[in-house]
Structure 1
């Protein structure tokens, strides 16, 4: 895939993200309706989630009918081009429901199967409509917040690192995750749990977080944000040489990643997994 093609893909992702973000922002102002629950009563989907995904899917189908689509709120469809758009229409739905201005529309495009261990991420756009912040990245060409190029902070010792994480919807999973946090809290500067994985990854790129980790993420949670982080110089992966995925995602500057990863591995071993 050439750089020119990837840049064209980003231009499309950017345009659609801006339109979709405006729709999500407008619907939030009008009032949010819960459409259904998914994995648990706490795991909700709103009418806006579905409407925004339908908009994104329609725009992509118009522009690139041969590409696949893999979104959170609708059935996946395979394409014939070898490219798949991996979409989270509203990442941080609970924040969105409560009016917390930390939610995002995330649109990434990958080459190969939409599986983190096998895909090649080509371009991505993540927009926080409430703050007017648009993050973009193209493979090999860096990442940006609006027009500002991003670089991760390096040389941060673990003891002074501000860490981000996320919790699952099921209570038993959150209990286990809290045990891991309890073991970690004395090893870092502090911990933040903000509720939108795509924005947490972008926060590593901006330096608002020094590292981020989470277990249980889906491809649409990190397809675009992971590229933003890696193109800003972060290492994004799992334990050892494993790729990031549902078992684990860690994002940090390479030096901090190397320090943090064995500590987290020890905590995972210490506390029983859910």
Structure 2
């Protein structure tokens, strides 16, 4: 267990876990209300492409922020849709109300709600929640577990294996810039299976022991902090492409073990 998975004296572990689940419950109500609804519209946040936001994104974040105002008013908040609010406790809640809004618009159940609580070291507890399937993955505070249609079970990453036997995910086939795409393809050429899509659900699959690698670029802090907490608690590792801290986003590799991470990092670096 890393330092990130230990809650410190500024927050009682049981209280923070309970609040995190209350946030996920609140977001479930709002996201399910609009999912696969007729006539769901989206605004575009990107003038050069398509970065959608829907009423469900905003309503889910607003619902979570309302819980935090009531139960943790001293904590900071960073959310994708409503920005940052400073706190006084040293803890910050990092929220992505719908990670995978494109998938949400398309009706695929691979989007998720991301919730992390962080201190100056990064995320110390996180939840990846998929409301439609009813799966919730959590990690930190001495636990790594999930609940879903098959009940509750512990989370543990896949056993170490050679890169040639690995399953690799990324969200977008183009990954990022042409250079980032070329770096990703060097890894994809070496693994057994490469799949696309899934957004945050790919990170949940890694923590659940189904896959070995997720490689992405262009992430924000709210895209990756909850996955970091869950994956590290399950025994996996996450870093930037150059081996640094991934909590701020950017280019990220998540892997089932350090050896897999090193192998992927060598390839994206051009090795």
After TM superposition, the score normalised by the length of structure 2 is: 0.87
- Is the alpha carbon distance of 1:49 and 1:62 closer, same or farther for their aligned partners in structure 2, counting shifts above 3 Å? same
Question: 2:259 is matched with which residue?
Answer: 255
| 1:228-258, Cα deviation, whole Å (9 max, x unpaired) | 0010000111245411143321111222112
Instruction: Return the match for 1:77 from 55, 71, 85.
Output: 85
1:57-72 alignment, distance < 5 Å: 57-72=65-80
Equivalence for 1:230: 232
Alpha carbons of 1:34 and 1:129: their partners in 2 closer, same or farther (altered >3 Å)?
A: same
Aligned equivalent of 1:56: 64
Gaps of 5+ in 2: 1-7
- Is the Cα–Cα contact under 8 Å of residues 167 and 174 in structure 1 kept in the other structure? no
> 1:208 Cα deviation (Å)?
2.0
State the partner residue of 2:3: none
Q: Does residue 24 of structure 1 match 2:35?
A: no
| 1:162-194 CA-partner distances (Å, limit 9, x unpaired) | 0112339xx893544443343333200121222
2:158–2:209 contact (8 Å) kept in structure 1? yes
72-81 vs 119-128, which moves further: 119-128
Structure with the higher fraction of residues in helix conformation? 1
Gap runs ≥5 in structure 1: 113-118, 268-274
Task: Give the C-alpha shift of residue 5 in structure 1.
Answer: 1.1
Alpha-carbon deviation of 1:42?
A: 1.1
Q: Deviations over 1:190-222 (max 9, x none)?
A: 2122241x3222211112221111111101001
**Cα offset for 1:126?**
1.4
Partner of 1:5: 12
Q: 1:116 maps to what in 2? A: none
Once residues 181 and 7 of structure 1 are traced to their aligned partners in structure 2, the CA distance between those partners, rounded to angstroms, is: 40
Choose the corresponding residue for 1:133, options 122, 132, 135.
135
Instruction: Give the direction of change, closer, same or farther, for the CA distance of 1:172–1:131 in structure 2 (3 Å limit).
Output: closer
1:104 corresponds in structure 2 to 112
In 2, the alpha carbon distance for the partners of 1:82 and 1:150 equals 28
- The answer to whether the 8 Å contact 1:102/1:195 transfers is yes
**Residue 167 of structure 2 is aligned to residue 159 of structure 1:** no
Using the size of structure 1 for normalisation, the TM-score is 0.86
Q: Which moved more, 1:17-26 or 1:126-135?
A: 17-26
Give the secondary structure class of the aligned counterpart of 1:208: coil
How far 1:7 sits from its partner (Å)?
Answer: 2.8
For 1:111 and 1:159, the matched residues in 2 are separated by 37
Give the CA deviation at 1:49: 0.6
Count matched residues.
Answer: 257
Q: Do residues 189 (structure 1) and 189 (structure 2) align?
A: no
Aligned equivalents of 1:39, 1:108: Cα separation in 2: 29
Distance 1:7 1:164 in 2: 33
| Residue pair 1:238, 1:248 contacting (<8 A) in 2 also | yes
What CA deviation, in whole Å up to 9, does each residue of 1:85-139 have, x standing for no partner? 0000000000000101111111111013xxxxxx332221111012110011124
